[in-house]
């Protein structure tokens, strides 16, 4: 009989935790026990997993006894405090927060891009920032073929990236505005319904007075995942009133020419990428059609004549799946395959 792995989900009641549960099931992950962990507020709550009711337990330092793989998605401070406990208990942690991403001995992995880095782990493997994952998934084959020199990215990020409370805030605020009622915001600093915020407040502070943490994550993480610190990346990250699915406008400058046709062919041959690029027939990726899908979608591939060897791309993916839960589960699958 093939080995089964005990899996803990830290933050199981959250937007990403819920998707981690469904992704384990959808991908037929070889799980044995599945332990659902969250705050004391959720202890005793029952969640449906694979047709059975599982009881949520309060996260504690001794929650990881007998656990092989711990998937963390309950915020950076929780990871900082409890991931070392999980490692001490003998589990490998796949951490979906930014707590350890830039640490030297923590691999930062997108399985389609740098699966080999997984072997370097010392107990913790980091899942990159959601917007970075879908971007590098598309950039990697283009970088291999033509060496990317510079990336200019603007994101259009769904509210679910800020968790369950943000989903509720967009829904309730939209309803209140349509009904001309007052609404007291709890999550976003400004109105998000029928608006856009040119900053992702939930990802932390502002670095060097100009760039937000989310932007800096995209700039730094891209280099680490691609294993090439010469790539220049500049980012503007924007929160938009979309529930689920991040979109990105990405401009790249390559060292060697890649024609639009060749880019399409390279991307169509990349695992888990779908090319949707037929502007005459209104075919391009959009966030509403990527919800629940495991792939990264790319379209609007155009030559940028304003620079030597430039391309423009439009990239969309489900931020809760490829951007979070799916990528974490894929890392766990690779870990098992390599063990």
Contacts of 144 (CB under 8 A, 6+ apart): none
Single residue of 7, 8, 54, 59 touching ligand A2P by CB under 6 A: 59
CB of 25 to ligand A2P, least distance (A): 18
Query: Which region among 74-82, 113-121, 204-212, 243-251 touches ligand A2P (by CB under 6 A)?
Result: 74-82
Burial 38-60, CB ≥16 within 10 A → b, else e? beeebeeeebebeeeebebbebe
Of residues 99 through 158, those in contact with ligand A2P by CB under 6 A are: none
Residue 161 interacts with ligand A2P (CB under 6 A): yes or no: no
Query: Which region among 9-17, 268-276, 282-290, 325-333 touches ligand A2P (by CB under 6 A)?
Result: 9-17
Which residue do the tokens 């004391």 mark? 40
Nearest to 329 by CA among 130, 88, 70: 70
Residue 187 interacts with ligand A2P (CB under 6 A): yes or no: no
Nearest to 149 by CA among 333, 299, 307, 5: 307
Nearest to 200 by CA among 235, 229, 149: 235
Q: What is the H or E stretch that residue 315 is in?
A: strand 310-317
- Is residue 8 within 8 A of residue 64, CB to CB? The reply is yes
Residue 97 interacts with ligand A2P (CB under 6 A): yes or no: no
CB of 125 to ligand A2P, least distance (A): 19
**38 vs 126, which CB is nearer to ligand A2P?**
38
Q: What is the H or E stretch that residue 212 is in?
A: strand 211-212
CB of 47 to ligand A2P, least distance (A): 10
Structure tokens that stand for 129 in this block: 């920032």
Single residue of 8, 69, 78, 219 touching ligand A2P by CB under 6 A: 78
Nearest to 132 by CA among 17, 216, 20: 216
Single residue of 5, 7, 8, 14 touching ligand A2P by CB under 6 A: 14
Residue 323 interacts with ligand A2P (CB under 6 A): yes or no: no
| Phi-psi domain of 88 (left: phi exceeds 0; alpha: psi -120 through 50; beta: other) | alpha
Single residue of 15, 126, 187, 275 touching ligand A2P by CB under 6 A: 15
Per DSSP, the residues of 124-177 read: EEEPPPHHHHHHHHHHHHHHHHH-EEEEEEEEEE-GGGG-HHHHHHHHHHHHHH
Q: Tell me which residues are annotated as active site.
A: 130, 246
**153 vs 197, which CB is nearer to ligand A2P?**
197
CB of 190 to ligand A2P, least distance (A): 20
Query: Which region among 70-78, 93-101, 105-113, 147-155 touches ligand A2P (by CB under 6 A)?
Result: 70-78
**58 vs 257, which CB is nearer to ligand A2P?**
58
**86 vs 113, which CB is nearer to ligand A2P?**
86
Residue 176 interacts with ligand A2P (CB under 6 A): yes or no: no
Tell me phi and psi for residue 55, to 5 degrees: -95, 130
Residue 200 interacts with ligand A2P (CB under 6 A): yes or no: no
Residue 165 interacts with ligand A2P (CB under 6 A): yes or no: yes
Residue 79 interacts with ligand A2P (CB under 6 A): yes or no: no
Single residue of 8, 17, 106, 298 touching ligand A2P by CB under 6 A: 17
CB of 301 to ligand A2P, least distance (A): 33
Pairing of strands 52-55, 296-304: unpaired
Count CB neighbours of 103 within 10 A.
12
**List of residues contacting ligand A2P (CB under 6 A):** 11-15, 17, 38-39, 41-42, 59, 74-75, 78, 163-165
């Amino acid at each position: 009989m093939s080995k089964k792995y005990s899996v803990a989900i830290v933050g199981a009641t959250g937007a990403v935790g819920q998707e981690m549960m469904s992704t384990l099931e959808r991908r037929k992950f070889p799980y044995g026990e599945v332990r659902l962990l969250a705050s004391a507020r959720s202890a005793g709550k029952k969640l449906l997993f694979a047709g059975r009711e599982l009881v949520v337990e309060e996260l504690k330092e001794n929650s990881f006894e007998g656990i092989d793989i711990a998937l963390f998605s309950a915020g950076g401070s929780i990871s900082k405090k409890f991931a070392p406990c999980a490692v001490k208990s003998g589990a490998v942690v796949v951490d979906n927060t930014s707590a350890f991403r830039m640490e030297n001995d923590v691999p930062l992995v997108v399985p389609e891009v740098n699966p080999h880095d997984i072997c370097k782990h010392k107990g913790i493997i980091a899942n990159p920032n959601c917007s970075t994952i879908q971007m590098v998934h598309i950039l990697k084959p283009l970088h291999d073929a033509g060496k990317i020199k510079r990336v200019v990215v603007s994101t259009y990020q769904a509210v679910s990236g800020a968790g369950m409370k943000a989903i509720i805030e967009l829904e309730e605020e939209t309803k209140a505005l349509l009904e001309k009622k007052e609404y007291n915001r709890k999550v976003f600093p400004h109105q998000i319904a029928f608006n856009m915020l040119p900053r992702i407040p939930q990802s932390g502070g502002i670095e060097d007075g100009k760039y937000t943490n989310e932007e800096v994550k995209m700039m730094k993480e891209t280099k680490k995942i691609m294993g090439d610190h010469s790539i220049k990346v500049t980012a503007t990250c924007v929160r938009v009133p979309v529930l689920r699915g991040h979109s990105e406008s990405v401009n790249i400058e390559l060292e060697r020419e890649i024609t639009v046709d060749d880019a399409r062919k390279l991307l169509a041959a990349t695992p888990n990428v779908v090319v949707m690029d037929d502007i005459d027939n209104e075919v391009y990726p959009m966030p509403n059609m990527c919800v629940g899908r495991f792939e990264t979608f790319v379209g609007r591939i155009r030559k940028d004549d304003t620079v030597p060897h430039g391309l423009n791309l439009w990239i969309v993916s489900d931020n809760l799946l490829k951007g979070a839960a799916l990528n974490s589960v894929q890392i766990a699958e690779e870990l098992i395959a390599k063990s």
